Structure 1
Amino acid sequence: MRIVYVHGLDSTANSVKGVLIEKYCKAHHPDVEVIRPDLNEAPNKVFDRLCKLVQQGQRVSDSVVIIGSSLGGYFASLVSNETGCPAVLLNPSTQPHISLQRFVDDQVIDTIACDDGASPVIYRTTGGWAMTLQDLDWFAAHKLQQITHPDKVFAVIKQGDELLDPKVAADFYQSQEVKVALQPGGDHRMTDFEQQLPLIMERLLPQG
């Protein structure tokens, strides 16, 4: 099996959850390869890159799973819809075209060249992605409206998520007949993630 881990907005390939997954697999499932790409780039490039990673993995492995946290959960959902791969979602973002609007009212910090001229940079992530208004347009054009393979998707959502409304995410995935583990308390970063790993891996490897 291969696991592709998709980090969130202000994170990198060395995100805490991604590293914990890799360490856990090395200790308990050494036959599982964990891939942790750095995805600090425009959303169209992230989506294309993840689809290629999954499709390449599907050609050489019996099983490829994508795990996404926060904004990574949004991308994991899109990629699962596109490729049919199983997905595990951790406090997933379901409406980035809305939630990322919080950066629009901030002062424009820079501009970058785009296909149709210069686009204002509205936020720069800690990993270096220069988010633009064009990126928000992409999210708006790629709204998460359905889950194509609900039997292959599993969401872990904390009711104490202080950044994204957990009810919005839970209601959406449950309406799509996705299995949702809605857990009391917690936070957006899912600081108890290390304790969540056995549950997640049991879901991925029920006979492991």
Structure 2
Amino acid sequence: MTPTHLLYLHGFRSSPQSAKATRMAAWVREHAPRLTWWCPQLPPSPHEAVRMLEHGVSRWPRERMAVVGSSLGGFYATVMAERLGCKAVLLNPAVDPARDLARHIGETTAWHSDDRFFFRPEYVDELRDMTPGRLADPTRYFAVIATGDEVLSWREMSERYRGGHLRIVEGSDHALSDFDEHLPHLLHFLELGPSP
């Protein structure tokens, strides 16, 4: 079913100004102007982020919405998809951010601005507490996974989303700098575009 509402979730230290988020926003403006698009700036607290997202989509039709998430946003997209039963597209998704982000506790900066924020120890606990168990329906997921990801393990990502629709990319990088090559496949999965 073609979605009428699309949520995009950026990664850790990222923002709605990321290359992938702005590319997706531009595609929506040009090709699907009636699609409800929301790409919010996520707060550092995972609990606050998910609470904000749940509130923001509370009036969205579950069967006509989808979520796209990159890196930590891919983890949040999984949390949302498991809670709401919607489709999700994951771009090099974080599988165990509680483990991976524990070393980032302290003050840090965002990639797209000089804004500084604190990643607090309790945020690691929040991530651990919200980590979904086994996926209820892996076929609702489409994951783009780069073997050249320098931040996350592509094998761990592949194992986590086994049974879903996986696009394993030889090479590339964590940011998926070649995102334009994968966009048609993502759109086809969401039923927003033709088969590539």
- 1:117 corresponding residue in structure 2: none
Q: 2:146 aligns with which of 134, 143, 158?
A: 158
Equivalent position SS for 1:80: helix
The whole-number CA distance in structure 2 between the counterparts of 1:96 and 1:41 is: 13
In the alignment of these two chains, the number of paired residues is 187
- 1:147 corresponding residue in structure 2: 135
The whole-number CA distance in structure 2 between the counterparts of 1:88 and 1:180 is: 10
Q: 1:51 aligns with which of 28, 50, 54?
A: 54
Identity %: 28
- 1:115 corresponding residue in structure 2: none
After superposition, the C-alpha distances for 1:10-54 in whole angstroms (9 at most, x for unaligned) are: 111222211100111222223323211000331001111112223
The whole-number CA distance in structure 1 between the counterparts of 2:54 and 2:134 is: 18
Give yes or no for contact 1:40–1:125 (8 Å, CA) kept in 2: no
After superposition, the C-alpha distances for 1:56-80 in whole angstroms (9 at most, x for unaligned) are: 2227xx6111100000000000010
Give yes or no for contact 1:80–1:149 (8 Å, CA) kept in 2: no
The whole-number CA distance in structure 1 between the counterparts of 2:179 and 2:99 is: 26
Give yes or no for contact 1:13–1:37 (8 Å, CA) kept in 2: yes
- 1:199 corresponding residue in structure 2: 185
The whole-number CA distance in structure 1 between the counterparts of 2:80 and 2:157 is: 17
**Structure 1: 5+ residue runs without aligned partners?**
105-121
TM-score, with length taken from structure 2: 0.88
- 1:23 corresponding residue in structure 2: 26
Give yes or no for contact 2:81–2:87 (8 Å, CA) kept in 1: yes
Equivalent position SS for 1:144: coil
Q: 1:137 aligns with which of 118, 125, 135?
A: 125
Paired letter, 1:123 = E
Q: Does the C-alpha gap of structure 1 residues 125 and 75 become closer, same or farther in structure 2, counting only changes over 3 Å?
A: farther
- 1:72 corresponding residue in structure 2: 73
**Structure 2: 5+ residue runs without aligned partners?**
none
Q: 2:169 aligns with which of 170, 179, 183?
A: 183
- 1:124 corresponding residue in structure 2: 108
What is the deviation of 1:197?
1.2
Give yes or no for contact 1:54–1:85 (8 Å, CA) kept in 2: no
- 2:86 corresponding residue in structure 1: 85
Equivalent position SS for 1:195: helix
Equivalent position SS for 2:168: strand
Give yes or no for contact 1:14–1:36 (8 Å, CA) kept in 2: no
Q: Does the C-alpha gap of structure 1 residues 200 and 207 become closer, same or farther in structure 2, counting only changes over 3 Å?
A: closer
Q: Does the C-alpha gap of structure 1 residues 102 and 194 become closer, same or farther in structure 2, counting only changes over 3 Å?
A: same
Equivalent position SS for 2:61: helix
Give 4+ residue runs of structure 1 displaced > 6 Å after superposition: none
**What root-mean-square deviation, in Å, do the aligned CA atoms of Structure 1 and Structure 2 show?**
1.8
Of the structure 1 ranges 43-52 and 66-75, higher mean CA displacement relative to structure 2 is found in: 43-52
Paired letter, 1:146 = R
Q: Does the C-alpha gap of structure 1 residues 160 and 43 become closer, same or farther in structure 2, counting only changes over 3 Å?
A: same
Paired letter, 1:147 = L
